[in-house]
């Protein structure tokens, strides 16, 4: 529709230029906006305002001329000049109602598009090391990352989701020593407890399971426990598998799927890390200082250079990160999106710098990052500090168990990633009725209920009849709902383009609001059959869009509540 109006304006401008009313050298940027206030029509353009200066004409005069030059269109009933020089476009009823047919015809594909054109995109998210269960911060990453995958898939991208983790570094050693200490009967209070050991009670669970000889099958890790508390390698392997399995269960409960789990250790085994170092050295972006090997990241916008090989010969974490991203590039992902917590912000510059220093033709701003700000958790009116080492934090699983998967996902995805998020458990529990996710789901369930009622009455609904009598939809509530439904594809496209899933959540809240208002004001199952069928068509279309939108957020659309 926007394209249609843009085309009309273009024709009008061309005509005015041909008549010599406008200078030929203007370069109009035609912008069509949805109106905020329906008294301003359905769409508005500021074209006369932006052209006023170069045309040296008062904007309202210009607007009048443009309006007069507009070709006629079946889709419009009228245009008007308003305010300082806006041109408002009023759509005909039939063009407003056409969206119902589109929705019912396209079904669960309504709102999808093909802007991605089948290009590949990789989304990496969560990427938690297997040193403990997933906490609420990981949950935000999971909710946002998974929703991004769904949005990108819906807009025509070929999406690959990936989870990257370190199964061999210092933190894993720490994990193994912590589990070993538990195997030996130590507790975090013991004087012999390892420095910086993981203190959470789950470490004791891992130790017991190890000693019991349990067999662990995770998505990508398998191990069997042994009785020997002195076999640190066996403990390490077991602990990693055990905690990976825990995380798998967390992710499963959250309905989040990964196409690939990528091990940092594989980059060492394949020689990718060494190769990366050699290329960086060969390209002359490195130097030796204090017995360490440095990368001159300041050449690429960092505020200071970074150590890549430590004096002990080991590599700092960011070097495998660079090797990993080179690997992504070499796998053919011209677009990569990394969703991570904002506390990893400093790695963005370093990884990009390392990739530039490799001189492999990787674009400067590659890869994309979506950084979500911290989640603070409130319980009993107090902030719960997240500390894996101290073992005091709220796990994702606890949240899912307490407030449900749908509410948890919705809460975590409904805010812009760049905003800090407070997850108030007490609020989510005690006032779960006020949770917006129920409000949206309720709208969906209500439509299902109407259709059930129809069936109970021994009646059935004829979609063709409904689509044939859409002109019956003349109530203001119905027009508002039609306008809202029409915007869904644009909302999806915009959310995918800006990587902001929360805009879908906001849209759904508004859509549900429009529906509830209509539902209360006007009965659907009326005796007047054409009107009834038209309303059923509108209801079914609303249900479809709610279901499609919730699917993008990974939230279910229940048929009854």
Partner RNA sequence: GGGGGUAUAGCUCAGUUGGAUAGAGCAACGGCCUUCUAAGCCGUGGGUCGAGGGUUCGAAUCCUUCUACCCCCGCCA
* Contact set for RNA, span 483-512 (CB under 7 A): 487, 490, 494, 497-498, 500, 502-503, 506, 509
* 44 touching RNA, by CB under 7 A: yes
Determine the Cα–Cα distance for residues 109 and 226; give it in Å rounded to an integer: 51
* 432 touching RNA, by CB under 7 A: yes
Determine the Cα–Cα distance for residues 70 and 76; give it in Å rounded to an integer: 11
How far apart are CB 212 and RNA at their closest, in Å? 29
Q: Segment 298-317, which members bind RNA (CB under 7 A)? A: 303-304, 306-307, 310-312, 314-317
* 53 touching RNA, by CB under 7 A: yes
In the list 431, 455, 471, 474, the residue contacting RNA (rule: CB under 7 A) is: 431
Residue pointed to by tokens 């869009």: 545
Q: Segment 129-158, which members bind RNA (CB under 7 A)? A: 129
- Segment (H or E) for 294: strand 292-295
- Of 87 and 216, which CB lies nearer to RNA in the complex structure? 87
* 291 touching RNA, by CB under 7 A: yes
In the list 30, 82, 281, 463, the residue contacting RNA (rule: CB under 7 A) is: 82
- Of 65 and 209, which CB lies nearer to RNA in the complex structure? 65
- Segment (H or E) for 289: strand 286-289
Q: What are the backbone dihedrals phi and psi of residue 98, each rounded to the nearest 5 degrees, phi first?
A: -60, -25
Beta partners for 45?
32, 87
HEC sequence for 28-57? CCCCEEECCCHHHCCEEECHHHHHHHHHCC
Distance of CA 19 to the CA centre of its chain: 49
DSSP result, 436-448: HHHHHHHHHHHHH
How far apart are CB 292 and RNA at their closest, in Å? 4
- Of 227 and 526, which CB lies nearer to RNA in the complex structure? 526
How far apart are CB 561 and RNA at their closest, in Å? 4
How far apart are CB 317 and RNA at their closest, in Å? 3
Contact 204, 184 (CB under 8 A): no
Determine the Cα–Cα distance for residues 167 and 218; give it in Å rounded to an integer: 14
- Of 59 and 229, which CB lies nearer to RNA in the complex structure? 59
Residue pointed to by tokens 């390892």: 194
How far apart are CB 312 and RNA at their closest, in Å? 6
* 15 touching RNA, by CB under 7 A: no
How far apart are CB 510 and RNA at their closest, in Å? 7
Q: Segment 169-188, which members bind RNA (CB under 7 A)? A: 169-171
Q: Segment 443-462, which members bind RNA (CB under 7 A)? A: 445-446, 448-450, 452-453
- Of 178 and 209, which CB lies nearer to RNA in the complex structure? 178
The CB-side HSE value for 404 (13 A sphere, CA atoms) comes to: 13
Query: How many chain residues bind RNA (CB under 7 A)?
Result: 97
Residue pointed to by tokens 């329906």: 38
Q: Segment 104-123, which members bind RNA (CB under 7 A)? A: none
Q: Segment 224-283, which members bind RNA (CB under 7 A)? A: 264
Q: What are the backbone dihedrals phi and psi of residue 333, each rounded to the nearest 5 degrees, phi first?
A: -85, 100
- Of 230 and 455, which CB lies nearer to RNA in the complex structure? 455
Residue pointed to by tokens 């019991």: 212
| Residue 551: Cβ within 10 Å count | 17
* 335 touching RNA, by CB under 7 A: no
* 39 touching RNA, by CB under 7 A: yes
Contact 326, 383 (CB under 8 A): no
Q: What are the backbone dihedrals phi and psi of residue 177, each rounded to the nearest 5 degrees, phi first?
A: -65, -35
Positions of E strands within 420-535: 421-424
In the list 46, 161, 209, 408, the residue contacting RNA (rule: CB under 7 A) is: 46
How far apart are CB 214 and RNA at their closest, in Å? 26
* 345 touching RNA, by CB under 7 A: yes
How far apart are CB 449 and RNA at their closest, in Å? 3
* 289 touching RNA, by CB under 7 A: yes
- Of 183 and 552, which CB lies nearer to RNA in the complex structure? 552
| Of 317, 322, 330, 331, residue with least CA distance to 300 | 322
How far apart are CB 224 and RNA at their closest, in Å? 26
Q: Judged by CB under 7 A, which stretch of 80-88, 101-109, 214-222, 278-286 contacts RNA?
A: 80-88
The CB-side HSE value for 264 (13 A sphere, CA atoms) comes to: 21
The token pair that represents 346 in the structure block:
């400093």
* 420 touching RNA, by CB under 7 A: yes
- Residue-level length of the chain: 561
* 29 touching RNA, by CB under 7 A: no
In the list 19, 201, 298, 419, the residue contacting RNA (rule: CB under 7 A) is: 419
Q: Judged by CB under 7 A, which stretch of 4-12, 66-74, 165-173, 249-257 contacts RNA?
A: 165-173
Determine the Cα–Cα distance for residues 465 and 468; give it in Å rounded to an integer: 5
In the list 75, 342, 463, 551, the residue contacting RNA (rule: CB under 7 A) is: 342
Q: Segment 347-376, which members bind RNA (CB under 7 A)? A: 347, 371, 373-374
Secondary structure (3-state) at 217: strand
Residue pointed to by tokens 């911060």: 137
Residue pointed to by tokens 């690997």: 327
The token pair that represents 490 in the structure block:
């644009």
Contact 375, 142 (CB under 8 A): no
Contact 221, 236 (CB under 8 A): no
Q: Segment 501-560, which members bind RNA (CB under 7 A)? A: 502-503, 506, 509, 513, 516-517, 519-525, 559-560
In the list 343, 364, 426, 462, the residue contacting RNA (rule: CB under 7 A) is: 343
| Residue 207: Cβ within 10 Å count | 25
How far apart are CB 500 and RNA at their closest, in Å? 6
How far apart are CB 39 and RNA at their closest, in Å? 7
């Amino acid at each position: 529709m926007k394209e249609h109006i843009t085309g009309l304006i273009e024709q009008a401008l061309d005509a005015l230029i041909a008549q010599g009313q406008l200078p030929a050298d203007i370069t109009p940027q035609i912008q069509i906006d949805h109106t905020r206030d329906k008294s301003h029509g359905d769409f508005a353009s500021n074209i006369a305002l932006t052209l006023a200066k170069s045309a040296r004409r008062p904007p309202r005069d210009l607007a009048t001329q443009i309006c007069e030059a507009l070709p006629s269109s079946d889709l419009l009933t009228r245009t008007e000049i308003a305010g300082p020089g806006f041109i408002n476009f009023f759509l005909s009823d039939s063009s407003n109602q056409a969206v119902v047919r589109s929705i019912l015809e396209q079904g669960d594909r309504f709102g999808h598009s093909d802007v991605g054109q089948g290009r590949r995109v990789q989304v990496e998210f969560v990427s938690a090391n297997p040193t403990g269960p997933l906490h609420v911060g990981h949950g935000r990453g999971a909710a946002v990352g998974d929703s991004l995958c769904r949005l990108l898939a819906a807009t025509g991208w070929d999406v690959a989701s990936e989870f990257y983790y370190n199964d061999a570094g210092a933190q894993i050693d720490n994990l193994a020593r912590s589990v070993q200490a538990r195997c030996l009967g130590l507790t975090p209070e013991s004087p012999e407890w390892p420095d910086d050991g993981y203190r959470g009670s789950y470490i004791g669970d891992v130790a017991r399971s190890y000693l019991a000889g349990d067999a662990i099958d995770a998505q990508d890790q398998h191990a069997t426990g042994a009785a020997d508390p002195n076999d640190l390698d066996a403990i390490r392997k077991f602990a990693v598998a055990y905690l990976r399995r825990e995380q798998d269960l967390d992710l499963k409960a959250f309905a989040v799927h990964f196409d690939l789990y990528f091990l940092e250790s594989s980059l060492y085994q394949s020689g990718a890390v060494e190769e990366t170092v050699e290329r960086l050295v060969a390209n002359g972006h490195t130097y030796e200082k204090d017995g360490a090997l440095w990368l001159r990241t300041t050449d690429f916008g960092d505020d200071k250079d970074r150590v890549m090989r430590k004096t002990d010969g080991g590599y700092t974490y960011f070097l495998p990160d660079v090797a990993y991203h080179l690997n992504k590039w070499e796998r053919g992902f011209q677009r990569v999106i990394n969703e991570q917590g904002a506390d990893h912000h400093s790695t963005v510059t370093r990884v990009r710098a390392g990739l530039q220093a490799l001189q492999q033709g990787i674009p400067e701003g590659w890869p994309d990052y979506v950084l979500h700000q911290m989640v603070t958790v409130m319980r009993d009116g107090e902030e719960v500090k997240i500390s894996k080492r101290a073992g005091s934090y709220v796990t994702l699983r606890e949240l899912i168990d307490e407030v449900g998967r749908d509410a948890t996902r919705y809460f975590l995805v409904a805010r812009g990633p760049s905003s800090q998020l407070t997850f108030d458990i007490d609020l989510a529990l005690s006032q779960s009725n006020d949770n917006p996710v129920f409000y949206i789901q309720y709208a969906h369930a209500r439509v299902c209920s109407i259709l059930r009622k129809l069936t109970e009455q021994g009646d059935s609904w004829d979609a063709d009849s409904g689509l044939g009598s859409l002109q019956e939809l003349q109530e203001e509530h119905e027009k508002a709902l039609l306008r809202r439904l029409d915007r869904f594809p644009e909302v999806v496209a915009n959310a995918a383009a800006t990587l902001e899933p929360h805009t879908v959540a906001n849209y759904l809240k508004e859509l549900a609001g429009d529906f509830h208002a209509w539902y209360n004001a006007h009965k659907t199952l009326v005796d007047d059959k054409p009107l009834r069928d038209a309303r059923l068509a509108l209801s079914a279309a609303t249900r479809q869009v709610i279901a499609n939108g919730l699917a993008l957020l990974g939230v279910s659309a229940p048929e009854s509540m």
